[in-house]
Amino acid sequence: MADKKKVGLGRGIGALIPTSAVPSERPIDVFFSGNGENGKKPESAQELVQVDGLRFGELDVTAIQPNAAQPRKVFEAEPFAELVHSVKEFGVLQPIVVRELSPGKYELIMGERRLRASKEAGLKKIPAVIRETSDDNMLRDALLENIHRANLNPLEEASAYQQLLSDFGITQDQLAEKIGRSRPQITNTIRLLKLPISVQQKVAAGVLSAGHARAILSAPDASRMEYFANKVINEGLSVRSLEELVGMDKPVATAGKATITQGARKDSLKVIAEQLGDRLNTKVSINLGKKKGQLVIDFATVADLNRILKELGQEIKY
């Protein structure tokens, strides 16, 4: 039996594609297992539907030829070096997309940087989605249907969202409508991928909540994000307490003459709205008039409204 290797924190759309003819079999996440105790499938998991025209598997990197139509020929050295380092440490976070040219031979459709980085990192195989149809609408519908059925952790969810948007031409509006979430909610979920890999691991493992992770994103740099993640785990901080700590963790201003900044009040209200929006996982706007102000909280569905009310400590259900 071949040794299992780490394939990354999130499987991208690989999490939405069954790996066998049995619809209930989900792709195995060998980095963070989606199974519960004793290998049992979580009660919240549903059977994935077959995605006709797509297969998921690991391919030999030497069996994949670049796409001649790839418009991007030059890759910036520093970001590419960071990607190579990430691949060496954690594997490929999102599968590439290929089409089969002949038995055992494939052409790349999406994922040029991921493929090059895998070769540079010395990987022999790479996770790939093998596309067997040109019917974009059929693929979009099937993948969106499986978002409801797959039992995804926040990082898997973010990874799948990003790949649906970037590799399969699905718009945020289509995604929001299909899964019953607001666009800001989707945007906030995808933002989790900006966390340092070490913090992403903690989110994927379930020791750090998505709410804590969104608050940590406001920290000034990666080292502070890692500091706050460890502080949450060690001290059991609530999301609200963490938000206050991160909000105070700002670079010390250089001493000098105080200046009046034009629009400072408006900017302050914008920051407050963004912080509240991150906490509620939706879009929040604050407007201040001459005599009164207005606080607007967006929600996508009645279920989303009930979720926001619960976040605010209200158990009232509409």
pLDDT of residue 130: 87
DSSP string of the chain, one letter each residue: -PPP----S--GGGGGS-SSSSTTPPPP-SSS----GGGPPPTT--PPPP-TTEEEEEEEGGGEEPPTT-------HHHHHHHHHHHHHH--SS-EEEEEEETTEEEEEE-HHHHHHHHHTT-SEEEEEEE----HHHHHHHHHHHHHHS---HHHHHHHHHHHHHHS---HHHHHHHHT--HHHHHHHHGGGGS-HHHHHHHHHTSS-HHHHHHHTTSSSHHHHHHHHHHHHHHT--HHHHHHHHHH--PPPPPS---PPTTHHHHHHHHHHHHHHHHHTS-EEEEE-SS-EEEEE--SSHHHHHHHHHHTT-----
Neighbours of 281 (CB within 10 A): 21
pLDDT, tens digit only, all 318 positions of the chain = 333 444 345 556 677 776 544 333 333 333 333 444 334 444 444 566 666 777 888 999 999 998 776 555 567 788 888 889 888 887 887 888 888 888 889 988 888 888 999 999 999 999 988 887 666 666 666 676 666 666 677 888 888 888 778 777 778 887 887 777 788 888 888 889 899 988 988 888 888 998 899 999 989 899 999 999 999 999 999 988 998 898 888 654 444 444 434 455 666 777 788 778 777 778 888 888 777 888 888 877 777 788 788 777 777 766
pLDDT of residue 70: 59
pLDDT of residue 263: 54
pLDDT of residue 61: 93
pLDDT of residue 9: 54
pTM of the model: 0.54
- Gap between the Cα atoms of 247 and 243, Å rounded: 6
Task: Using alpha carbons, list the distances in angstroms from residue 88 to 112, 165, 265.
Answer: 17, 26, 46
pLDDT of residue 23: 37
pLDDT of residue 60: 93
Catalytic residues, by residue number, are 112
